[in-house]
Amino acid sequence: MKSLKMCMMCLWGVWMMTMGQAQAAAGPADFPNFQEGRFVIHDFTFRSGETLPQLTIGYTTIGQPQKNHRGEITNAILLLHGTSGTANSWFLPSLSNALYGAGQPFNAQRYYLIIPDGIGLGRSSKPSDGLRAKFPRYGYNDMVDAAVHLVKDGLHVNHLKAVVGTSMGGMQTWLFAERYPDFMDGAIAVASTPMAVSGRNMMWRQLLIHSIRAAPDWQGGEYIESPEEFQRVWPLFGIMTDGAAHLQAIVPTRDKAIAQYDILVSNARPLDANDMLYRFEASADYNPQPDLEKIIVPFLAINFQDDMLNPAELGVLEQEMPRVRYGKFIILSGGAQSLGHQNLSQGKLWGPAAAEFLSQLPDKS
């Protein structure tokens, strides 16, 4: 019974990474110049035409800005998290222990790392702050625009060494490179593809969205408790983002699998359904495919062989990357205990490729 409980907690820890609720790898004192803040953008207009008088973007930075003779910061890297994550996602031990140390890809003694909470998540403005379903509809393009405001207006960084994103953050990296080609020296997108969300990826998302919008107890966003149907459907998120072999190893029997499902349902109860609804609907405006030729900076896409959200068998990167002038991609295997889409949380797996890519970027300082 004890080993079963430990396995369940291990599995839940992997899934919680994408929700930004995992504990950080270390305390603030263990990262050089660790700082947290909130930046307020006044009169932010969303692409829907809606506005907020004040849009708050929470963020974390580590490292020290370095400036050239013109006083411009030259060593900033923007790190973007996944759909249900926050800036805290980048401080999971499996990432921070492999990425920020001396000689590692995003060495915090060398780079100034900027890690925002996306709109609707963490410390940033979101439906659960009070507006509920009256919160403006936002999309990935709005999230990119807000991050640019933070970097330029809030932190006074006019040019980035790189934009690096995982999952949703990877999708936003494609948009960054298309829409702001002069804003960075290079870009790395992890666990994403440059096409609109469709096929199986859209179908499971729609199931999750429908479990909220169609639930009688959602009450148009004015619910008292999270809709029961949403709680029952939520475990699908973990099933879709984990590796089949890893899941089988953790819950190898019928009874253990059912017990784990019940735990995940109960852990969905404190989640704010409006926040989750907005997060998953935000991908509706994502489609970098028509404008890939606009990417003029070196671009690296890193995907995983058994990622069910970005299936390698569709051949999207093989088909589309030739349209990116300085683009290249790699598809990695996570091994026998692969975490599927959640391989993005394994810095030791994809970090070396990121480090090599960064080392080849031109020095524009």
Question: Per residue in 78-113, pLDDT tens?
Answer: 999 999 899 999 999 999 999 999 999 999 999 999
Closest CA to 112 of 20, 24, 32, 27: 32
Cα–Cα distance, 189 to 82 (Å, whole number) = 11
Domain spans of the chain, in order of start: 2-17+32-200+279-359
Tokens for 328? 């290249």
How far apart, in Å, are the Cα atoms of 242 and each of 94, 247, 304, 339, 340?
A: 15, 7, 12, 5, 5
Beta-strand pair 51-62/35-45: antiparallel
**CA quadruple 160, 300, 306, 97: dihedral, nearest 10:** -50
The pLDDT value given to residue 87: 96
Instruction: Yes or no: say if 127 and 218 are a contact pair by the CB < 8 Å rule.
Output: no
Residues 6+ apart with CB under 8 A from 178: 288, 291, 292, 294, 295
Cα–Cα distance, 111 to 108 (Å, whole number) = 5
Cα–Cα distance, 324 to 109 (Å, whole number) = 32
- In 116-148, which positions are buried (b, 16+ CB within 10 angstroms) versus exposed (e)? bbbbbbbbbbbbbeeebbebbbbbbbbbbbbbb
Closest CA to 228 of 240, 236, 216, 239: 216
Amino acid at the residue 182: D
Instruction: Yes or no: say if 178 and 295 are a contact pair by the CB < 8 Å rule.
Output: yes
Stretches in the chain below the pLDDT threshold 70: 1-29, 364-365
The pLDDT value given to residue 364: 67
The pLDDT value given to residue 365: 62
How far apart, in Å, are the Cα atoms of 268 and each of 7, 112, 213, 271, 356?
A: 19, 35, 16, 5, 39
DSSP code at position 155: S
CATH architecture of 2-17+32-200+279-359: 3-Layer(aba) Sandwich (3.40)
The pLDDT value given to residue 84: 83
Q: Is the dihedral of CA 347, 267, 130, 206 positive or negative?
A: positive
The pLDDT value given to residue 22: 39
Question: Per residue in 313-346, pLDDT tens?
Answer: 999 999 999 999 999 999 999 998 899 999 999 9
The pLDDT value given to residue 337: 87
The pLDDT value given to residue 29: 52
Instruction: Yes or no: say if 243 and 344 are a contact pair by the CB < 8 Å rule.
Output: no
Q: Phi then psi for 157, rounded to 5 degrees?
A: -105, 115
Identify the burial level of 107 via C-beta atoms within 10 angstroms of its C-beta, where 0-12 means exposed, 13-18 middle and 19 or more buried: middle
The pLDDT value given to residue 91: 95
Cα–Cα distance, 46 to 285 (Å, whole number) = 12
Residues 6+ apart with CB under 8 A from 335: none
Cα–Cα distance, 18 to 272 (Å, whole number) = 15
Cα–Cα distance, 196 to 290 (Å, whole number) = 10
Instruction: Yes or no: say if 84 and 279 are a contact pair by the CB < 8 Å rule.
Output: yes
Phi-psi region of 215 (alpha: psi -120 to 50; beta: other; left: phi over 0): beta
Amino acid at the residue 101: G
Residues 6+ apart with CB under 8 A from 353: 300, 302, 330, 332
- Number of neighbours of residue 186 by Cβ within 10 angstroms: 21
